[in-house]
């Protein structure tokens, strides 16, 4: 069964450093998403992406964050200058269409630890 | 963001019995509701969904009920199996938005 994959599974970085989290969405999916879950809190939406453009973003997704589809398979989330509060589990998701009845398929997540 | 709430952090049931997981929401504009299951070290996995125009959707052992007047939905698992032990998230979406809004999750333990 096709699945969303994410690398690395765990990333440790120092405050102020840039990190790039990578995702390979399901191959025939066209809509991509990033969510995060801070320990003990809810899963929160960050951004959605289609046709090389951000289609929606949350208040969390400020200028420190960016997304990119650098090639035909990868989808990346970059945090320019990490803060302690960016420590969280980051989930990539993809869907075939944006239709509300089509589920979003989630990857296993990348645990980001900012020290 | 308190739009989707799961007030029970945990639930324990005996194998073979019914598990009922509850979810409340405050935004009457939600068009679709979904349940995701999550095992440790994995991402959320889609389980079942329901449109806001329906009041019930069934898929095998899983049934979701929606009560729009009460802004409440529930997930029934019958019969419960030990492999169902996981964290269950309720989520909601509006037609006009791409984002899923999640509840805080309920940890289900099914005892053999």
pLDDT digits over B37-50, tens only? 999 888 999 999 99
Q: What is the DSSP letter of A115?
A: -
**What's residue A73's pLDDT?**
87
Contact B61, B77 (CB under 8 A): yes
Q: Does B101 touch chain A (CB under 8 A)?
A: yes
Contacts of A104 in chain B (CB under 8 A): 46, 100
pLDDT digits over B3-40, tens only? 999 999 999 999 999 999 999 999 999 999 999 999 98
**What's residue A44's pLDDT?**
96
* B90 vs A43: CA distance, rounded Å: 11
Alpha helices, H only, A11-71: none
Q: Do B1 and A42 make contact, defined as CB atoms within 8 angstroms?
A: yes
* A18 vs A27: CA distance, rounded Å: 28
Q: Which of A44, A98, A109 sits opposite B98 (nearest CB)?
A: A98
Question: Up-side HSE of residue B39: CA atoms within 13 Å toward CB?
Answer: 8
Q: Does B62 touch chain A (CB under 8 A)?
A: no
**What's residue B1's pLDDT?**
57
**What's residue B82's pLDDT?**
97
- Give the chain A residue nearest B97 (alpha carbons): A56
Q: Does A33 touch chain B (CB under 8 A)?
A: yes
What is the arithmetic mean of pLDDT over B72-85?
A: 98
- Give the chain B residue nearest A94 (alpha carbons): B98
φ, ψ for residue B40 (rounded to 5)?
Answer: -55, 140
**What's residue A48's pLDDT?**
96
What is the arithmetic mean of pLDDT over B54-67?
A: 97
**What's residue B41's pLDDT?**
84
pLDDT (tens, 9 = 90+) of chain A, 115 residues, equals 789 999 999 999 999 999 999 999 999 899 999 999 999 899 999 999 998 999 999 999 999 999 999 887 899 999 999 999 999 999 999 999 878 777 899 999 999 999 9
φ, ψ for residue A86 (rounded to 5)?
Answer: -80, -10
**What's residue A115's pLDDT?**
97
């Amino acid at each position: 069964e096709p699945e969303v994959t994410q690398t690395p599974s765990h990333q440790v970085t120092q405050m102020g450093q840039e990190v790039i989290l990578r995702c390979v969405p399901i191959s025939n999916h066209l809509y991509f998403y990033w969510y995060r879950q801070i320990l003990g809190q809810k899963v929160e939406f960050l951004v959605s992406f289609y046709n090389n453009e951000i289609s929606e973003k949350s208040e969390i997704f400020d200028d420190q964050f960016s997304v990119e589809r650098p090639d035909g398979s990868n989808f990346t989330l970059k945090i320019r200058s990490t803060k302690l509060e960016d420590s969280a589990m980051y989930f990539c998701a993809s869907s075939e269409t944006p239709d509300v009845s089509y589920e979003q398929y989630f990857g296993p997540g990348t645990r980001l630890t900012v020290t | 963001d308190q739009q989707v709430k799961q007030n029970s952090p945990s639930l324990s049931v005996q194998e073979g019995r019914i598990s009922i997981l509850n979810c409340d929401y405050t935004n009457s504009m939600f068009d679709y509701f979904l349940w995701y299951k999550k095992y440790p070290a994995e991402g959320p996995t889609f389980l079942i969904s329901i449109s806001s125009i329906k009041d019930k959707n069934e898929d095998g052992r899983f049934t979701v009920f929606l009560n729009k007047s009460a802004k409440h939905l529930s997930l029934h698992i019958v019969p419960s199996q030990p492999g169902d032990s996981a964290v269950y998230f309720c989520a909601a979406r509006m037609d006009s938005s791409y984002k899923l809004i999640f509840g805080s999750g309920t940890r289900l333990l099914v005892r053999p």
